[in-house]
């Protein structure tokens, strides 16, 4: 991967995680992305695609077909539905699925062509998300760019219509690289400081779902980093428990200080619960009434608050099934590949740490999502494809991973090279 591709890759990863904050900073009012002219993420993805495609063809591990086949079928089906519907070609809807296909290609080629020292730079760039998120939120507070439609001082909505769910997900993605860095035993005090600050943000945003998912991902991080799991799995669950207690304690402290109205909280929770039950019922009815083609993207008219039901209602049950198979097989098999490669000593630490960060990010997006309809989050597919591509880069080509430049930041790297039959054994 050349310097240009590496720079664009870092730009794409940042754009996919942080672009709503950019839209909010540029917005002049509460309307949804009123200054948006084009997708920052799609521009970055297109540039990455142009820079990577000339560098070589895609080579796939056998196990990756279980991810690519249903996902390509999902993309092809929905492109066909978008271009052949009764309202005529819907190019805006089709572009979403073209973007998913581009993310797959870019993820695979990025993983195949990235060198160990470039992976180090990529991982360090993800550590910048946390200070960027905190700085942006502080700026919005100082310049009064939040509204509070629920009342009180909790659950804010940023200018540009960036709702608290999106803000919590951005902060959640920023937490993941610090979990991974903590798991490998580097600068744990700094990691805990960053994670505690972002946890406070989650409490302010009232995102219980993000806190729960994050606690689970903390344990998964130690399991994927197998050597760390053997020594520190107990620490992982202790940290997850402490963070959960801190979150609960923060709510109690806010109530004592008068910043949180308990009656309002109970009323809001009850209203939100029953509102979502009503949405789920409507989504299920739409899905069974239109099982083949759904009611069309955006046809539900409001955030579905459920990834699977929303996809089934708007694109059909077949489309939802293909997505579910791809999402489950992709994240599970990518995680299994990481664990098995480490167990036979075939994975360099740079690739392992970046791979685990990306798998956890994909799991987070599929489990939590941006306004709960996560299937269109192109970065989730990019993350998984990158892990499969890195498997080709570091094993099928029999390349030796060097830790000469990364040794100060990551644990020592296994310098052995391995034949292709070991790759297949690890992947299956």
Q: Are 344 and 419 in contact (CB under 8 A)?
A: no
Tell me the H-state helices in 205-290: 208-224, 226-256, 262-289
Q: What whole-number distance in Å separates Cα of residue 151 and Cα of residue 287? A: 35
Instruction: Tell me how far CA of residue 94 lies from CA of 44, 110, 295, in angstroms.
Output: 18, 24, 15
Which of 290, 351, 341 is CA-nearest to residue 112? 351
Q: Are 304 and 313 in contact (CB under 8 A)?
A: yes
The DSSP letter of residue 163 is -
What burial class does residue 425 get, using C-beta atoms within 10 Å of its C-beta: 0-12 exposed, 13-18 middle, 19+ buried? middle
Q: How far is residue 375 CA from its own chain's centroid?
A: 11
Instruction: Tell me how far CA of residue 351 lies from CA of 121, 182, 299, 399, in angstroms.
Output: 12, 16, 41, 12
**Where are the chain's structural domains?**
3-260+316-427
- CB under 8 Å to 144, separation ≥6 — which residues? none
Long-range contacts from 26-34, C-beta under 8 angstroms, 24+ separation: 26/160, 27/159, 27/160, 27/161, 28/159, 29/159, 30/147, 30/157, 30/159, 30/160, 30/161, 31/160, 31/161, 32/160, 32/161, 33/160, 33/161, 34/160
Q: What whole-number distance in Å separates Cα of residue 236 and Cα of residue 240? A: 6
pLDDT of residue 69: 92
pLDDT of residue 137: 94
Written as six digits, the tokens of 142 are 């100082």
pLDDT of residue 227: 56
197-224 burial, b if ≥16 CB within 10 A, otherwise e?
bbbebbbbbbbebbbebbbebbbbbbbb
What burial class does residue 408 get, using C-beta atoms within 10 Å of its C-beta: 0-12 exposed, 13-18 middle, 19+ buried? exposed
* H/E stretch holding 147: strand 146-147
What are the average pLDDT values for consecutive 10-residue runs of the chain, which has 428 residues? 87 92 88 76 91 80 86 92 80 85 92 83 92 94 88 82 87 90 79 85 80 78 64 56 62 60 55 65 86 82 77 88 90 80 52 85 78 71 89 54 36 35 39
Written as six digits, the tokens of 94 are 């089709």
pLDDT of residue 199: 83
Which of 308, 283, 268, 307 is CA-nearest to residue 164? 268
Which of 369, 321, 245, 404 is CA-nearest to residue 78? 321
* H/E stretch holding 146: strand 146-147
Residue whose token pair is 């630490």? 349
Q: Are 136 and 198 in contact (CB under 8 A)?
A: no
**Whole-structure pTM value:** 0.81
The DSSP letter of residue 401 is P
Which of 260, 49, 46 is CA-nearest to residue 152? 260
* H/E stretch holding 16: helix 3-26
């Amino acid at each position: 991967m050349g310097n240009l591709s590496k720079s664009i890759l870092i730009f794409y990863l940042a754009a996919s995680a942080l672009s709503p904050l950019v839209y909010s900073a540029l917005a002049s009012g509460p309307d949804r992305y009123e200054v948006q002219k084009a997708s920052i993420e799609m521009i970055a993805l297109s540039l990455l695609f142009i820079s990577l495609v000339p560098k070589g063809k895609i080579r796939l591990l056998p196990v990756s077909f279980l991810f690519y086949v249903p996902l390509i079928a999902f993309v092809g089906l929905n492109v066909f539905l978008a271009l052949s519907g009764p309202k005529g070609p819907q190019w805006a809807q089709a572009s979403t699925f073209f973007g998913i296909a581009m993310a797959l290609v870019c993820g695979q080629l990025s993983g195949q062509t990235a060198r160990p020292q470039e992976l180090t730079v990529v991982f360090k760039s993800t550590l910048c998300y946390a200070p960027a998120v905190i700085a942006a939120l502080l700026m919005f507070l100082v310049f009064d760019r939040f509204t509070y439609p629920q009342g009180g001082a909790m659950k804010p909505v940023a200018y540009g219509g960036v709702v608290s769910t999106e803000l919590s997900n951005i902060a959640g993605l920023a937490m993941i690289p610090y979990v991974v860095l903590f798991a490998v035993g580097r600068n744990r005090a700094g990691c805990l400081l960053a994670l505690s600050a972002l946890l406070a943000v989650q409490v302010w945003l009232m995102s219980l779902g993000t806190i729960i998912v994050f606690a689970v991902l903390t344990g998964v991080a130690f399991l994927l980093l197998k050597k760390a799991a053997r020594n520190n799995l107990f620490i992982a669950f202790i940290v997850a428990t402490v963070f959960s207690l801190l979150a609960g304690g923060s709510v109690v402290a806010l109530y004592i200080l008068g910043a949180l109205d308990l009656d309002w909280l109970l009323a809001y929770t009850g209203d939100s619960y029953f509102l979502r039950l009503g949405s789920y019922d409507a989504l299920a009815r739409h899905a069974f009434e239109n099982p083949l083609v759904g009611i069309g993207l955006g046809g539900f008219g409001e955030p579905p608050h459920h990834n699977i039901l929303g996809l089934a209602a708007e694109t059909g049950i077949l489309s939802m099934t293909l997505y579910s198979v791809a999402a489950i097989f992709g994240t599970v098999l990518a995680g299994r590949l990481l664990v098995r490669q480490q167990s036979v000593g075939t994975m360099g630490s740079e690739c392992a740490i970046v791979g685990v960060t990306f798998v956890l990010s994909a799991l987070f997006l599929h489990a939590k999502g941006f306004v709960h309809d996560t299937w269109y989050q192109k970065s989730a597919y990019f993350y998984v494809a990158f892990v499969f591509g890195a498997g080709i880069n570091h094993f099928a080509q029999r390349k030796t991973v060097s830790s000469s430049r990364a040794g100060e930041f990551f644990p020592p790297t296994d310098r052995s090279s391995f034949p292709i039959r070991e790759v297949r054994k690890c992947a299956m």
